Amino acid sequence: MTRKQTVKLIRIIIAVVLTAVAVIISPEGLWALILYLLPWAVVGYDVVTDAVLGIFRGQFLDEKFLMTLATAGAFAVGEHIEAVAVMLFFQIGELFESIAVGKSRKNIRALMDIRPDKATVLRGGEEHTVSPDEVSVGENIVVKPGERIPLDGVIVLGSTTVDTSALTGESLPAELSTGDKVISGTVNLSGVITVQVQSEFAQSTVQRVLELVETASAKKARTEAFITRFAKVYTPCVVAGAVLLAVIPPLLFAGSWSEWIYRGLVFLAVSCPCALVISVPLSFFGGIGRASREGILIKGASYMEVLAKVRTVVLDKTGTLTQGRFSVASVHPADASAEELLRAAAYAESRSLHPIAQSIVAAYSADVDESLITQMQEHTGKGVEAVVQGHRILAGNKGYISSVVNIPDIGKATGTIVYVARDEEYLGYILLSDKVKPDSAQAIGELKALGVERTVMLTGDRRDIAEEIGRELQLDSVFAELLPANKVEAVEELIPEHSPVAFVGDGINDAPVLSRCDVGVAMGGMGSDAAIEAADVVLMDDKLSKLPEAVRISRRTVAIVRQNIIFALAIKALVLILGAVGIAGMWAAIFADVGVMILAILNSMRTLIVRKKKS
């Protein structure tokens, strides 16, 4: 509990004690007014002060003005204890609100703690401790066990275990070694590593994440905006209604002034829209905080509201549904052994930087002896040609290799095929594929279980490969061989009929589509900067299974918001009617205002808790 909260609690306790003393003494006349004014002033002097200042600022139709007016009026008609009770319970509600907001902010503060405050940079063979924003791209930094990695980069020396939970929500540490990427904000757990910096601190993962979180609460949902507009109209209308209720019956129908003024004061006490104005943004803030703990960054309440209603999910293939890297699926020799075929291809491809070439070299179990290669030429879009130990080896697509040797019909094969020939002799072919991520099928199944009506894959890859993955993941539709512009067109066709539409991607070519759809989701861990900036939701660890979790959190948050709105309006409407006819008094008004506010706040705090999905 903060110092401010503690002071307010002490004032509440003192006011309760003073009120109890007044009730026990049961004073009358002027003494009753004095003894009840004392606890009222102790607990509510700040409310009254703000109400008076609000009048001079032209902002007087707020909850503090209404509380001051209602309690002052209650004193005027002799309802001393009700006057104190209204102010007392209003402050109790304010205390609950403060504690609830503090709890929901806890997740955000924990995320802010990932900001590194120093970096150990190697300069001139010596270690220097500097601020992370003083390190340049290309410099090497040393990260010791227990330290937070300050900048994005690649490990050039050493191996270690890294705790990524602060960013990804995953409790299982990652094993990393030379050549692996590391991201800022994560914690080095075991070995000493040297990291070559790849981005400045201002563009680092941790800095971008913090900026996204800091700006998330500024983007209001439609519901929040509606409640704000509603409160501006609702409160003056009810105040006008209270005045008319207090004045017209005594003037026109000879009613009792004290009775009808009291009913008007009940109207004022009920009219404060605290439960709505406080609980709605608090619910969304809690939902965003809960999502951040799971490694899901939602850039604003408006995106959470759309995500909760998504009917169609469109997914990029490479890097989203698949791992985004080729691997050798099978080796099919003709006039050679499998080992000989793979060796010839590995030697031919060893100097190429193409992902397919690197995958073949990685699949070759032995080291490539570069001294055996006397010549190598790469033919873009076709293949490679190399001279190895005096033998001319070709590796590439069917059109390139068939110009040199006859290739037999291999039937239908799903994947990328590399044909290999040596000295005008066909050796066979190697089948490569981009493997589906282990959790892709689980994610698609969970989305459908959540009621998502349509799952669609967009890819620039070959149709046969795309359709095979579509069948494996049981997707509803597959669009293949698309350019980035074609992807935008495909999404635009889906939006009118199947809105809201969410698009999930990770590449720079996905940025236009992420911006165009109703809600864009970027795979953040390996995703490009452009995709992360264009997206509305970022999954920090590249696990597609986080998408159903984001939908669950969003739906639960929106459901709680709706519960609060319906509950608050229904109770207030009931008590307003009962107060107008003289059935409900000030105590019912206290419940309709402060009681409903407390219940709504407690309900909003449920956004911090998400039920685990059934296994």
Q: List the catalytic residues.
A: 316
Helix or strand or coil: residue 120? Answer: strand
Task: Dihedral sign for Cα 319, 324, 330, 332, please.
Answer: positive
Q: What residue type is 253 in one-letter code?
A: F
Residue 160, classed as helix, strand or coil, is: strand
The rounded distance, in Å, linking the Cα atoms of 407 and 396 is: 12
Question: Using CA atoms, how far apart are residues 606 and 282, in angstroms rounded to an integer?
Answer: 11
What is the four-CA torsion angle of 524, 527, 528, 529, rounded to 10 degrees?
Answer: 0
| Biggest alpha carbon–alpha carbon distance for the chain | 117
What's the CA gap between 251 and 255, in Å, rounded?
Answer: 7
The SS3 assignment for 396 reads strand
Q: What is the 8-class DSSP label of residue 607?
A: G
With beta carbons less than 8 A apart as the criterion, state whether 328 and 431 touch.
yes
Secondary structure, 3-state, 313-349 = EEEEHHHHHEEEEEEEEEEEECCCCHHHHHHHHHHHH
What Cα–Cα distance (Å) separates residue 87 from each residue in 90, 259, 317, 498?
5, 21, 59, 50
Q: Is the distance from CB of 418 to CB of 399 less than 8 angstroms?
A: no
β-strand partners of 331 = 430
DSSP annotation of 542? -
Positive or negative torsion for Cα 126, 129, 134, 140: positive
3-state helix, strand, coil in the chain (%, to 5): 55, 20, 25
CA distance 218 to 209: 15
Structure tokens at 125: 């063979």
